[in-house]
Amino acid sequence: MDSGTDSGTGSGSATRGGGITVQRALELPGLRSGLPEILAGADRLGRTVRWVHAGEVPNIASLLKGGELLLTTGYGLGARPAEQRAFVRTLAERGIAALVVELGPRFTRLPAALVDSARGAGLPLVQLHREVPFVTVTEEIHTEIVNGHYALLQRAEEVHRRCTQALLDGGGVPQVLEILAGFGGNPVFLETADGLLLYAAGAGPEGADPLQVWEGLRGQHRDAPPPAGSVLVDVPGGGPGPGSVRARLVLLPVRAPLAPVHRMAAEQAAGILAVVLMQARQEEELAARGRGDFLSDLAEGRIAAEDAPAQARVLGFKPGGSPLLPVVMRLGETLTPGGGTARTGGARSGDWAVLARAVAEELASLGMPVLLGVRPVEGRVPLLLGLRSEAERSTVADRVAAALRAGVERAGMHRPGARPPVVVVAAAGGWASASAGLRHAAEAATAAQGLADRPWYDARRLDIDLLLWRLRDHPDLAAFVDRAIGPLRDHDRRSKPPLLPTLETYLAHAGRKAETARELHLNRQTLYNRLARIGELLGTDLDDPQTVLALSLALRARRHVP
């Protein structure tokens, strides 16, 4: 669940992995009674002793894992200098903490080759001038190691207790990070899974702002490995599956080295933060849904216009006497959070909170009152904005639509091939018109699905599409479409080039042939031939106003019929 590195050395008992140092082992009664003399590696006595092993075989290095303090009387060292040098070299390569040789029948003084090799390899080498019971030494050091582990657990548990108490007292993420930063004496950061900073606590060198530390060491180099001695711990729960990551705790050793106890405390804190973030996300989603329910009730007339301002103030929306601009964004079915559809509301819990927060942050730059909600079941995001004047409706609509789409992008919901969200803006006015405007925009947003993509649609210009959408299940609408453009649909299924796009472009340009030809990249004669063929297939005159109206309606209605 974590990554990165940590460090901790010195003469104390708590070091890497909860072991003890070589220095501490030599100070215990067992080894101290042997009158130890350090012959090599005096500057490396801060190494961690992970375990103790005693043995007398030449190939003992193959039995070790690293970090051991090796006790021996020297029978496995070899008689020749080359054998002794090889013995030391293999132990150093294995990464043992120290070699302790008891003088006696095998050696009265350690050979120069052994000592020189240990010095060259940087391996602490100690000779004991008096005989000691190896079993006593082993028991003492192992007891010290176990006690060290227990002490680490106690210290980490104390941090966990304090963090828990902070939450019970009403604190949140900042308080948890402050406790962790105070315990480690270094700044602590909470990042998103992709390395963006969420929170910072503690202080950098000489009291520097932690944000400066993060910017210098992490902000510009998120893809680079963290500084040596850092601690990185994942905060779980960002998505489905056991390996999902919601955020990441980062402890940087800029004021003092970090020890294993700091990693243990960070791991304890990560579990607490996972719960806090999940709860905050749920609360955020509930709040967004609550605002969405209010806007939906207002749209459906369940809240009277005279009662709406007071209820809106409770939700933090205080537009004063400003004109209100109703806006509705509808997500395409393949865009709905969590992979669900807009009709089924299949989003994962919390996804709508991500969307609401991202959109709200984008809208904050507008500098005007905004009431933003979500309606997961319908796949909609309704909102009201307080305008300074109705004259700025179009300008504000442009910025709101851009902010809404940017929020969808930030929330990670714009998948390749998915239909873009539809943004519909209603007429501005007072609370009474806001009620009707929200309802109008919501219905129009549904009716606009499948139209050519635009930054936003004016709800008033979608009234024909809305009327046709309401008739979508009526058999007369399908019959009308078939009578009006059925021969063209049959032609396009069998022959090339298709003629429906030509008719649609021609009608969109109000029968202006030059503009139609330019948009379709056709020469004039080719366009004339296609229009003639369309008139022939339909048996009608494309210059007749009634024919043009019927064909325009049929082309719009075909989206709503099989």
Q: What is the CATH number of the domain that holds 134?
A: 3.40.1390.20
Does 306 share its domain with 418?
yes
pLDDT of 238 reads 55
In a domain, 294, yes or no: no
Does 81 share its domain with 169?
no
In a domain, 307, yes or no: yes
Q: Judge whether residue 224 has pLDDT over 90.
A: no
Q: Which of 248, 278, 308 is the last residue of a domain?
A: 278
Chain Cα centroid distance, residue 95: 39
47-84 pLDDT per residue, tens = 989 889 998 888 898 888 888 999 999 898 888 999 99
491-529 pLDDT per residue, tens = 989 988 999 999 989 988 888 989 999 999 999 899 999
Instruction: Indicate the number of domains in the chain.
Output: 4
pLDDT of 398 reads 93
- CB within 8 A of 503, min separation 6: which ones? 485, 488, 534, 551, 555
pLDDT of 148 reads 75
Provide the mean pLDDT of the chain: 84
CA distance 443 to 526: 40
CA distance 562 to 552: 18
Q: Judge whether residue 385 has pLDDT over 90.
A: yes
3-state class of 301 per DSSP? coil
Two structure tokens written together for 518: 């330019």
Mean pLDDT of 447-452: 84
3-state class of 53 per DSSP? strand
Which pLDDT band, with edges at 50, 70 and 90, does 420 fall under? Answer: confident
**Secondary structure of 402-444 in HEC code, one letter for each residue:** HHHHHHHHHCCCCCCCCCCCEEEECCCECHHHHHHHHHHHHHH
**Secondary structure of 478-532 in HEC code, one letter for each residue:** HHHHHHHHHHHHHHHHHCCCCCHHHHHHHHHCCCCHHHHHHHHCCCHHHHHHHHH
User: Which among 211, 348, 222 is positioned nearest to 285, based on CA atoms?
Assistant: 348
Does 368 share its domain with 506?
no
Does 441 share its domain with 371?
yes
pLDDT of 354 reads 78
pLDDT of 336 reads 46
Does 118 share its domain with 101?
yes
Does 95 share its domain with 167?
no
In a domain, 295, yes or no: no
Using N-to-C axis directions, what is the helix angle for 260-299 and 134-168, rounded to 10°? 20
Q: What is the CATH number of the domain that holds 543?
A: 1.10.10.2840
pLDDT of 183 reads 87
pLDDT of 333 reads 56
Question: 523 phi and psi, to 5 degrees?
Answer: -80, 165
pLDDT of 344 reads 33
Strands (DSSP E) contained in 94-220 are 98-102, 125-128, 188-192, 197-201
Q: Which of 451, 470, 489 is the last residue of a domain?
A: 470
Q: How many residues does the chain have?
A: 562
In a domain, 261, yes or no: yes
The two beta strands, 370-372 and 324-330, are: unpaired
- CB within 8 A of 398, min separation 6: which ones? 455, 456
Mean pLDDT of 227-252: 76
Torsion of CA 163, 165, 169, 174, to 10 degrees: 0
Domain that holds residue 534: 475-560
Does 443 share its domain with 338?
yes
Burial 454-485 (b: 16+ CB within 10 A, else e): eebbbbeebeebbebbebeeeeebbebbeebb
pLDDT of 252 reads 87
In a domain, 326, yes or no: yes
In a domain, 221, yes or no: yes
CB 274, CB 18: distance < 8 Å? no
Does 462 share its domain with 524?
no
Q: What is the CATH number of the domain that holds 376?
A: 3.30.70
Q: What type of residue is 354? A: V
459-486 pLDDT per residue, tens = 999 999 889 988 988 899 989 999 999 9
Q: Judge whether residue 489 has pLDDT over 50.
A: yes
Q: Which of 452, 470, 488 is the last residue of a domain?
A: 470
Which pLDDT band, with edges at 50, 70 and 90, does 347 fall under? Answer: very low
User: Which among 310, 312, 290 is positioned nearest to 386, based on CA atoms?
Assistant: 312
Does 325 share its domain with 349?
yes
Does 203 share its domain with 323?
no
Does 464 share its domain with 482?
no
**In the block, residue with structure tokens 């120290």:** 98
User: Which range in 209-223, 277-291, 536-550 is most confidently predicted, on average pLDDT?
Assistant: 536-550
Does 8 share its domain with 110?
yes
Q: What is the CATH number of the domain that holds 170?
A: 3.30.450.40
In a domain, 291, yes or no: no
Percent of the chain with pLDDT over 70: 89
In a domain, 172, yes or no: yes
